[in-house]
Structures are given as C-alpha cells and as structure tokens.
C-alpha cells in the first residue's frame, strides 16, 4: 500500500507527469484517499473498464500480477502499459498474448526493474553470449513473505522446527518460473532477472506527448507519451535460479543477493563472477523495501519513447 501512495504523491508533485485516474479493487480505499486529500476527486475511476475515457498515455499497474494479466492486452489497445508485477510474465501464454497485442496496437509495455541491481549489466552480458548462470537470492523476515500453497506450508513447518532460532531458512531453491505463482508479491526482482529479453518492432521511437498516464491498483496516472527486455533471456524463467530465504532476525531490512557466472578463462583457469548484495531498509511485514519506492518512480519516469514491444524501464 505504501509504495502506491508514494507513487501517487510523486506523480502529483512532478512537473513531467499528470495524474489521470486512480483505481483500486476496493473502491473504499480510493475514497479514503480522496477524503485524506491524497487523491483528487476527479481522478477516481470506479470501473477500470472505463479507463479510456481518461485518455491516458500510460497505464501503470503496481498491485498484483493477476491484475496485469487481466488488463494488459485491453489497455494496450488504447495506451502504453507499465507493469510493476513482472511475475505475470512467468505465464508463457500471457507473455505471448502481450506480444501479439503490442504488434497489433503499436503500443509498448514497460516492465519495472524494481530491486534488481545491475539489470542493465546482466542484459548486456546476455546479449554478448557471455552469461553462463544467474542466481537471485531474496532474504526477508517470515512476515514479509506472502506465500501460497505448498510453499506457505513449507515455511510454516520450517519455522516450527526452528522455533526461537535466528538464521537463514531456505524456503525455496529452484527455477524462477515455478516460484512465481507461489510467491507472486515477493519475487518481482527474480522475474526481472529471468525475463530480460528484447522484443520490439522495427519502428522509430514515438515522439513524446504533452502528458503521461500511469496506473496502479492504487493509482493511474497521466504521464508523457511515452517487449519484454528483462535481464537474461538466454536463461529465461526456467534457467535463472531462485533462492527464497526466511530469516526471523531480519526485522529491519530485505536482502537481495545476485550471483552471476560468466565465461571460463582456459589460460588462467578461472571464471568471471559477480556477487552483489543489496540491503534495503524494510519493516517487518513489508513486502517492498523503502528504497525500492524510489526505484519504482525512476522506472516509471523511464517508461517512454521506445518502439512498440516490451521493454525494461
């Protein structure tokens, strides 16, 4: 919720963005925001099916992958789309439908980088054929992990078996594609790493317009005028490895670790490797770390000017 409020506030304060509308699956949430003065009354959209009446240039989703799946192709008929839930693209059928929609409409999809540190460097290595392996580890307090199905049961069992202990408990280790539907709100960073492919039409970039539209579950905005470029297409959702770790001691932060393997040097007998660790202040129970809010807004500002297709921003 906090990151949605943050985006609305930043958009309203921006000289480059104009808030067009705000929609939420719970209308009362938006009405409360109007009463608090956080959202103008004329920006409330009761039915997302009426979004085109607001004439947005860009609609931004920052709520849940299911919303992205339900509305992305519809939005693309009228505007560009900013997807803040990259886990939606773990669904191959959805990805293909979005590609088809961008070709048909000439509009673009922008995918948020979020907390993926070094995404552009990963993409460049992959484009050169130098990427050999990629593992993303996310460590959070158990209350910050919003899991479903067997993964939720596994974490409950691990916590019971290690009651009173601090330390890493590996809840999941495997490919990103399998993990995405089991932790849709927690693994967007991993999804970005898995899906950094370039898919764009061979057309010139669109000129910038006078306004930009952004939409989230909590807010839709008007932005300037503005495929899927996500970081490692050669590995993809099935090739990028994911580790999801619960640690009761992480009461003030989220940790994201990226381990990258590059080419082997036959002469020197060693390989190129990169290890990064990102520690992001976050309260217990928070899904998103505080510095990721700024990353979302920067990503949103970059969502413009690309040819029809799917792009990281």
DSSP helix/strand/coil, 63: coil
> Residues 167, 272: one domain?
yes
Distance of CA 145 to CAs 67, 138, 139, Å?
Answer: 20, 10, 9
Residue by residue, pLDDT tens for the chain (313 residues) are 566 788 889 999 988 889 999 998 888 888 999 999 999 999 999 999 999 999 999 999 988 888 999 999 999 999 999 998 887 887 888 888 999 999 999 999 998 776 677 777 888 888 889 999 999 899 999 999 989 899 999 999 999 999 988 899 999 999 888 887 887 666 555 655 555 443 333 333 333 333 333 444 333 333 322 223 345 667 777 788 889 999 999 999 999 999 999 999 999 999 999 999 989 898 999 887 777 778 788 888 888 888 898 887 7
User: If we measure between CA atoms, which residue out of 93, 97, 92 comes closest to residue 81?
Assistant: 97
User: Which pLDDT does position 81 carry in this prediction?
Assistant: 94
> Residues 17, 56: one domain?
yes
User: Which pLDDT does position 291 carry in this prediction?
Assistant: 73
User: If we measure between CA atoms, which residue out of 57, 51, 98 comes closest to residue 207?
Assistant: 57
> Residues 173, 257: one domain?
yes
> Residues 72, 124: one domain?
no
> Residues 9, 145: one domain?
no
Distance of CA 207 to CAs 51, 76, 97, 160, 270, Å?
Answer: 23, 17, 26, 57, 47
- The number of residues making up the chain comes to 313
List Cβ neighbours of 140 (8 Å cut-off, separation of 6 or more).
186, 245, 246, 247, 250, 254, 255, 282
> Residues 132, 181: one domain?
yes
> Residues 106, 220: one domain?
yes
Contact call for residues 152 and 186 (beta carbons, < 8 A): no
User: Which pLDDT does position 194 carry in this prediction?
Assistant: 54
> Residues 242, 277: one domain?
yes
User: Which pLDDT does position 225 carry in this prediction?
Assistant: 25
User: Which pLDDT does position 192 carry in this prediction?
Assistant: 57
> Residues 296, 175: one domain?
no
| Number of domains the chain contains | 2
Strand duo 18-21 + 220-222: pairing: antiparallel
> Residues 22, 62: one domain?
yes
**Phi, psi angle pair for 212, to nearest 5°:** -135, 145
User: Which pLDDT does position 17 carry in this prediction?
Assistant: 87
The whole domain housing 242 covers: 120-185+235-281
Residue 111: CATH number of its domain: 3.40.50
For the chain, what is the radius of gyration of the CA atoms?
20
> Residues 212, 93: one domain?
yes
User: Which pLDDT does position 198 carry in this prediction?
Assistant: 36
Task: Give me the numbers of helices (H) and strands (E) for the chain, helices first please.
Answer: 10, 13
> Residues 67, 143: one domain?
no
Residue 160: CATH number of its domain: 3.30.360.10
């Amino acid at each position: 919720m906090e990151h949605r409020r943050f985006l609305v506030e930043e958009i309203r304060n921006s000289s480059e963005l104009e808030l067009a509308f705000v929609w939420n699956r719970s209308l009362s949430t938006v009405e409360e925001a109007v009463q608090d003065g956080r959202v103008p009354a004329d920006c409330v959209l009761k039915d997302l099916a009426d979004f085109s009446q607001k004439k947005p240039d860009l609609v931004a989703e920052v709520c849940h992958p299911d919303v992205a799946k339900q509305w992305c192709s519809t939005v693309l008929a009228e505007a560009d789309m900013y997807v803040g839930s990259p886990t939606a693209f773990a669904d191959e059928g959805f990805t293909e439908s979005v590609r088809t929609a961008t070709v048909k409409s000439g509009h673009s999809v922008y995918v948020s980088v979020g907390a993926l540190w070094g995404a552009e460097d990963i993409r460049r290595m992959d484009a050169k054929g130098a990427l050999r392996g990629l593992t993303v580890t996310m460590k959070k307090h158990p209350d910050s992990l919003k899991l479903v199905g067997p993964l939720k049961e596994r974490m409950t069992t691990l916590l019971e078996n290690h009651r009173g202990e601090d330390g890493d408990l590996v809840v999941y280790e495997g490919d990103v594609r399998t993990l995405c539907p089991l932790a849709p709100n927690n693994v967007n960073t991993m999804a970005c790493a898995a899906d950094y492919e370039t898919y764009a039409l061979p057309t010139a970039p669109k000129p910038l317009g006078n306004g930009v539209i952004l939409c989230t579950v909590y807010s839709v905005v008007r932005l300037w005028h503005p495929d899927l470029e996500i970081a490692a297409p050669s590995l993809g959702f099935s090739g990028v490895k994911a580790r999801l770790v619960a640690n009761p001691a992480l009461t003030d932060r989220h940790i994201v670790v990226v381990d990258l393997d590059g080419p082997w040097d036959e002469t020197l007998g060693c390989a190129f490797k990169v290890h990064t660790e990102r520690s992001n202040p976050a309260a217990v129970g928070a899904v998103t770390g505080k510095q990721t809010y700024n990353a979302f807004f920067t990503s949103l500002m970059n969502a413009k000017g690309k040819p029809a297709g799917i792009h990281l921003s």
